[in-house]
Copies of this chain bind each other. A is one copy, B any other.
Amino acid sequence: MKKDLPSATSDQDLAHKLASSGMRMTAQREHVYHTLLQQTDHPTADEVYLRAKSAMPELSMATVYNTLDALVKCGLIKQVNVERTASRYCSNMNEHCHFFCEECGSIHDVDFKKDKGELPLKLPRNLVPTQVDISLRGRCADPLKCPNRNRN
């Protein structure tokens, strides 16, 4: 039995997902999406651009932004806003949240426990959420990057 994964499992699937939101499949979109799938460290638009451009030199920044918006719209990636300056993008569409290390700037994925119930919110009737983002801030202990790995 095939599981319905939140990511596009083939280019045809990607084309379908784009089409169902009234958008077209292009070589650039396919390439940017694959770049994001390989780059799991929550890159900024610029980082996606640089990496994708190396294999497709004519790619433009405008197209990267266009594509990122398109992929967000059809639910294939998430936009992650943790810093003041630049948005980041995440191709992991399993339910999870983000831990942002204020020391080294890295972002770690944190999974939910399986028995996750509803969030205990007093949500007024006139607010209808389509998406929930949970982000944590603090210090990680990444042995390679985080300068606080030996403190406390």
Residues of A that sit less than 8 Å from B by CB: 79, 81-84, 87, 97, 99, 102, 108, 110-113, 115-117, 119-124, 126-142
Contacts and interface: CB of A to CB of B under 8 A. Distances in A.
Nearest to A121: B110
Contacts of A137: 129-133
Copies in the complex: 2
A83 B81 contact: yes
A96 to B, nearest CB: 9
Contacts of A135: 132-135
A112 B121 contact: yes
Contacts of A79: 84
A99 B81 contact: no
Contacts of A127: 99, 108, 110, 136, 138, 140-141
A138 B131 contact: yes
Contacts of A113: 120-122
Contact of A120 (B115, B124, B136): B115
A81 B71 CA distance: 20
A150 to B, nearest CB: 12
B117 A120 contact: yes
